[in-house]
């Protein structure tokens, strides 16, 4: 249960970290660029070229400029345009030309006179770069204009593509609405533009546009050709053909000549429809057309992508945690698809949901949880499998090793109960039962200790002891076995080394080496135990003249259950577990085992132990062995 809780917490932490990372990156240039690109892509998919009903662009194009004296002749050209239009007349004429400077007196007079005849005139004004005020057209022009509109757009963020205009700008405490908005107001015969912190209203139209975001309005660019464009040169040359197109409409007049203008901007449509950025005058006409169509793309509040990212990440983590296997993976895939589809669905409802946070949170959460699951959860499973296997082996070991003393106890007790025998013999059998039961108890305790040691659950009970005494005690225990096989036990203790370590476990280890040496030797040979002190270490060498083994077999010796073929053929019983336990004990003491062996010549098993200083003698609570 605790493991499950921890796993759940880790999945939750991955989901949270994924969301945080995704949201933070979404606020950087990288995230914004991604959002922009997706917006442009979706925008191009849905853009239509339904012809605009009430707006026309009157373009002062390259040819017009060339034929009419370039920019110097601009005021005269505008005067001619207005005079010609007066015959239509349009409902609104919005002039996207900065007239703030004074021109030649004749030109200004001609333009003033033309403006005086024009109904619904909107003139452009630009902000001074420092924001201190407006570059308004000079007085005569102003008086004829029914409104002044600013011509600022809002590129980006983080690129030069124009997706939005700003409806309202303030400079030098003077507020100006956008040129397109003023044109729209006049086209609807409204006197006022109302605003609240969240929208702008003109007659019946409500444009969602937040004041705290700089009053943006996304321009719903219509495809190429949707807004009719007439060159001024054509209008002036053939007014009778062109004027009907402008009667009662809103006409945006501006320079589109490549050579003369600087306010061309890329739009989301640019890559698909044309390879040139769009002139400012056309952008204003498009903004007007957006208002005229009355449907607006609205940015969702900042919290929406954050919440979607959070929900998707946590749902993914929950799927990984609660639904293992295919149902979980299917749900995760579904959530990933949902994270990608959400911005598209929002877009179709004219809501702009910034996709970076949800999409990247989905990917991060999916990959994070997936990697964690495969790496760590699987590792946990493998570990518990391994534990199970280890306990199975342990069980076999216990069963096998316990059988020998049990058989002796069983046999002796049967003899005792069945037959009358002399006291001397009874005593012998009684002692045998006693010693074999002690052996049993010792084996069980040692075995449990080794299990706990290898599971990392037990500390060594470090006590000081003498190497000689350890050898003597092992030899004493092995004497009976050696005698039965007629093998001579010899020992040479070269140095009276004092060691520290878990004496019981080390005795188990050395005893195992000695009994192996006896088991795998034939009668008439000797087994020799030598204790040497080499530097900071003590070496216990157990040498025999037995069956030996090849070098390849030496390499496999410490594997659990491994037995050499000759050992199996020798008829000696064994489990192949003893040496692996010896190895664990010695390793836990910071030592190692060295094996030298030759087939049919014998082996030397050397247990090398460091002389560790006694850190914490702990003898209490030890079972009797």
Q: Is residue 574 involved in binding ligand ADP (CB under 6 A)?
A: yes
Side-chain half-sphere of 569: how many Cα atoms within 13 Å? Answer: 6
Q: Which of 433, 517, 529, 609 binds ligand ADP (CB under 6 A)?
A: 517
Beta carbon of residue 512, minimum distance to ligand ADP (angstroms, whole number): 6
Nearer to ligand ADP, 33 or 575 (CB): 575
Q: Is 567 in the site for ligand ADP (CB under 6 A)?
A: yes
| Region binding ligand ADP by CB under 6 A among candidate stretches 37-45, 354-362, 502-510, 567-575 | 567-575
Q: How far is the CB of 549 from ligand ADP (least distance, A)?
A: 5
280 binds ligand ADP (CB under 6 A): no
**CA 211 to CA 223: how far, in whole Å?**
29
Segment 526-565, which members bind ligand ADP (CB under 6 A)?
544, 546-549, 557, 562-564
Could you tell me how far CA 532 lies from the centroid of its own chain?
Answer: 58
Q: Exposed (0-12), middle (13-18) or buried (19+): which is 300, by Cβ within 10 Å?
A: middle
Q: Which stretch binds ligand ADP (CB under 6 A): 171-179, 181-189, 515-523, 616-624?
A: 515-523
Q: Does 137 bind ligand ADP (CB under 6 A)?
A: no
Least separation, in Å, of the C-beta of 460 and ligand ADP?
21
| Cβ-based neighbours of 47, under 8 Å, separated by 6 or more | 221, 222, 223, 268, 269, 272
Rule CB under 6 A: say whether 516 interacts with ligand ADP.
Answer: yes
What's the sign of the alpha-carbon dihedral 159, 162, 168, 174?
positive
What is the SS3 assignment for 223?
coil
Asked if 489 is part of the footprint of ligand ADP (rule: CB under 6 A), the reply reads no
| The three-state (H, E, C) secondary structure of 83-118, written as one string | HHHCCCCCCEEEEECCCCCCCCHHHHHHHHHHHHCC
Residue 378 neighbours by CB distance under 10 Å: 11
The residue at minimum Cβ distance from ligand ADP is 574
125/145 Cα distance (integer angstroms): 11
Cβ-based nearer residue to ligand ADP, 98 or 584: 584
Among candidate residues 120, 3, 109, 99, the one with its CA nearest the CA of residue 54 = 120
Q: Is the peptide bond before 394 cis (omega within 30 degrees of 0)?
A: no
Tell me whether residue 274 or residue 568 sits nearer to ligand ADP (CB atom): 568
Task: For residue 383, give the 3-state DSSP assignment.
Answer: helix
Local structure of 206: helix, strand or coil: strand
Q: Comparing C-alpha atoms, which of 134, 209, 201 is closest to residue 170?
A: 134
- Here's the x/- map for ligand ADP, 9-28, by CB under 6 A: it reads as --------------------
Nearer to ligand ADP, 146 or 572 (CB): 572
Q: Which is nearer to ligand ADP, 264 or 560 (CB)?
A: 560
The reply to whether 603 sits near ligand ADP by the rule CB under 6 A is: yes
Please check whether residue 91 is in contact with residue 116, taking contact to mean a CB–CB distance below 8 angstroms.
no
The residue (of 575 and 606) whose beta carbon lies closer to ligand ADP is: 575
Phi, psi values for residue 118, rounded to 5°:
-95, 130
Q: Smallest distance from the beta carbon of 456 to ligand ADP, in angstroms? A: 22
CB 82 within 8 A of CB 239: no
Supply the DSSP symbol for 419.
Answer: -
Q: Give the one residue of 39, 320, 363, 520 binding ligand ADP; rule: CB under 6 A.
A: 520
Please, what is the minimum distance in Å from the beta carbon of residue 388 to ligand ADP? Answer: 22
Q: How far is the CB of 470 from ligand ADP (least distance, A)?
A: 19
Of 288, 251, 256, nearest in space to 82 by CA: 251
Select from 7, 229, 575, 584 the one that contacts ligand ADP (CB under 6 A): 575
Beta bridge partners of 218: 164
**Binding range to ligand ADP, per CB under 6 A, among 63-71, 241-249, 433-441, 568-576:** 568-576
DSSP string, 588-607: HTT-EEEEEEETTTEEEEEE
Assess 505 for contact with ligand ADP (CB under 6 A). no
Q: Applying CB under 6 A, what is the total number of residues that bind ligand ADP?
A: 21
Position 576 contacts ligand ADP (CB under 6 A): yes
Nearest distance in Å: CB 564, ligand ADP? 3
| Segment 578 to 597, residues that bind ligand ADP, using CB under 6 A | 578-579
Give the binding site for ligand ADP (CB under 6 A). 512, 516-517, 520, 544, 546-549, 557, 562-564, 567, 574-579, 603
């Amino acid at each position: 249960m605790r493991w499950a809780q921890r796993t759940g917490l880790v999945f939750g932490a991955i989901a949270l970290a994924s969301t945080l990372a995704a949201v933070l990156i979404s606020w950087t240039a990288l995230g914004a660029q991604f959002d922009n690109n997706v917006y442009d892509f979706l925008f191009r998919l849905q853009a239509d070229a339904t012809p605009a009903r009430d707006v026309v662009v009157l373009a002062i194009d390259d040819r017009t400029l060339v034929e009419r004296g370039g920019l110097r002749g601009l005021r005269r050209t505008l005067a001619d345009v207005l005079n010609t239009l007066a015959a239509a007349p349009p409902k609104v004429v919005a002039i996207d030309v900065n007239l703030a400077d004074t021109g030649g007196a004749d030109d200004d007079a001609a333009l003033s006179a033309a403006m005086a005849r024009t109904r619904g005139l909107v003139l452009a004004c630009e902000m001074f770069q420092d924001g201190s005020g407006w570059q308004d057209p000079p007085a005569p022009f102003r008086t004829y204009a029914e409104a002044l509109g600013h011509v600022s757009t809002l590129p980006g963020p983080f690129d030069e593509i124009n997706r939005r205009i700003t409806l309202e700008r303030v400079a030098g405490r003077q507020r100006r609405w956008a040129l397109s908005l003023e044109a729209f107001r006049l086209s609807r015969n409204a006197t006022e533009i109302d605003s609240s912190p969240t929208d702008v209203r003109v007659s019946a139209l409500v444009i969602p546009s937040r004041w705290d975001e700089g009053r943006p309005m996304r321009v719903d660019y219509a495809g190429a050709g949707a807004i009719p464009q007439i060159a001024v040169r054509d209008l002036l040359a053939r007014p009778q053909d062109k004027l009907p197109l402008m009667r009662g409409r809103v006409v945006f007049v501006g320079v589109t000549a490549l050579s003369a203008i600087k306010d061309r901007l890329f739009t989301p449509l640019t890559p698909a429809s044309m390879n040139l950025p769009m002139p400012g005058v056309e952008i204003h006409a498009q903004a007007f057309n957006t208002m005229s169509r009355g449907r607006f793309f609205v940015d969702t509040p900042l919290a929406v992508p954050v919440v979607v990212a959070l929900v998707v990440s946590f749902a993914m983590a929950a799927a990984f945690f609660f639904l293992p296997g295919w149902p979980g993976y299917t749900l995760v895939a579904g959530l990933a698809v949902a994270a990608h589809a959400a911005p598209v669905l929002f877009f179709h409802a004219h809501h702009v949901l910034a996709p970076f946070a949800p999409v990247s949170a989905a990917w991060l959460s999916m990959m994070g949880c997936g990697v964690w699951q495969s790496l760590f959860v699987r590792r946990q499973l493998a570990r518990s499998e391994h534990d199970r296997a280890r306990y199975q082996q342990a069980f076999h070991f216990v069963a096998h090793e316990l059988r020998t003393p049990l058989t002796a106890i069983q046999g002796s007790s049967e003899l005792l109960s069945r037959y009358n025998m002399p006291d001397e013999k009874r005593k012998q059998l009684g002692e045998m039962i006693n010693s074999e039961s002690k052996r049993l108890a010792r084996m069980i305790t040692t075995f449990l200790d080794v299990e706990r040691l290898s599971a990392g659950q037990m500390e060594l009970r470090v006590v000081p002891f003498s190497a000689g005494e350890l050898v003597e005690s092992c030899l004493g225990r092995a004497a009976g076995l050696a005698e039965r096989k007629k093998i001579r036990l010899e020992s040479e203790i070269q140095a009276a080394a004092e060691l520290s370590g878990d004496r019981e476990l080390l005795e188990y280890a050395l005893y195992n080496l000695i009994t192996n040496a006896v088991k795998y030797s034939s009668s008439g040979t000797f087994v020799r135990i030598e204790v040497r002190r080499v530097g900071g270490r003590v070496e216990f060498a157990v040498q025999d003249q037995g069956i030996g083994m090849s070098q390849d077999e030496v390499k496999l010796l410490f594997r659990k259950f491994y037995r050499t073929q000759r050992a199996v053929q020798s008829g000696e019983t064994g489990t192949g577990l003893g040496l692996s336990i010896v190895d664990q004990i010695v390793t836990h003491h910071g030592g190692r085992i060295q094996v030298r062996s030759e087939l049919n010549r014998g082996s030397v098993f050397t247990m090398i132990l460091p002389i560790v200083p006694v850190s914490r003698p702990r003898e209490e609570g030890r079972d009797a062995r």
